[in-house]
């Protein structure tokens, strides 16, 4: 039975909440039960932002996550907070462009992705969230790349449509890195 508890965590403005939303929409498109709960500080940009996502083949009893099976980390404070909470056997995905520290844990799978550097190479530093989401999809196969891409096409705002192709390129690059 598929059941994953995921935390996306970083600063406001990094697209952490949007990455979690896209994963949630993709899960729904693939007939999974889904919860998505955002949490953010009072600042619009630069404050803390995180969201929890649960994807499950069974009904979800409670949307609260204490120990995620997967943590997708975008900054140093999030690494410090969530790295110790990942369940043994789980995944830690880290934007190594912004988090220079390494985990000492040996009981989890760790993937360091230079997401911000890749996003800059692709022409927009703000699409690092799609690199990280792609890496998650590539490493875990929680949902298909096709489902995420379809949801991106459906949920990208009209104002952001010009970034559709770079976002898709970022997802694909992330999947490639996630599959190693």
Beta bridge partners of 7: 52, 71
Rounded Cα distance between 112 and 97, Å, is: 9
- May I ask the CATH class of domain 3-179? alpha beta
This prediction's pTM: 0.95
Both tokens assigned to 99: 């988090």
In tens digits, the chain (180 residues) has pLDDT values of 589 999 999 998 899 999 999 999 999 999 999 999 999 776 656 678 999 999 999 999 988 899 999 999 999 999 999 999 999 999 999 999 999 999 999 999 999 999 999 999 999 999 999 999 999 999 999 999 999 999 999 998 888 888 899 999 999 999 999 998
Side-by-side strand order, sheet with 91-95: 33-40, 48-56, 3-11, 70-73, 91-95, 109-113
- C-alpha torsion angle, residues 23, 28, 30, 32 (rounded to 10): 100
């Amino acid at each position: 039975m598929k059941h994953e508890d995921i935390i996306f965590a970083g600063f406001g403005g990094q697209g952490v909440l949007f990455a979690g939303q896209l994963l949630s929409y993709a899960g729904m498109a693939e007939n999974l039960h889904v919860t998505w709960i955002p949490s953010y500080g009072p600042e619009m940009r630069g404050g803390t932002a995180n969201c929890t996502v649960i994807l499950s083949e069974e009904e979800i009893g409670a949307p609260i996550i204490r120990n995620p099976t997967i943590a997708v980390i975008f900054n140093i404070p999030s690494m410090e907070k969530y790295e110790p909470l990942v369940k043994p056997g789980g995944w830690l995905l880290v934007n190594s462009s912004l988090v220079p520290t390494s985990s000492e844990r040996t009981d989890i799978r760790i993937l360091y992705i230079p997401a911000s550097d890749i996003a800059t190479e692709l022409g927009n530093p703000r699409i690092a969230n799609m690199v990280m989401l792609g890496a998650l999809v590539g490493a875990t196969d929680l949902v298909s790349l096709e489902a995420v891409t379809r949801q991106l096409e459906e949920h990208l705002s009209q104002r952001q449509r010009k970034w559709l192709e770079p976002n898709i390129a970022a997802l694909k690059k992330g999947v490639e890195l996630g599959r190693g």
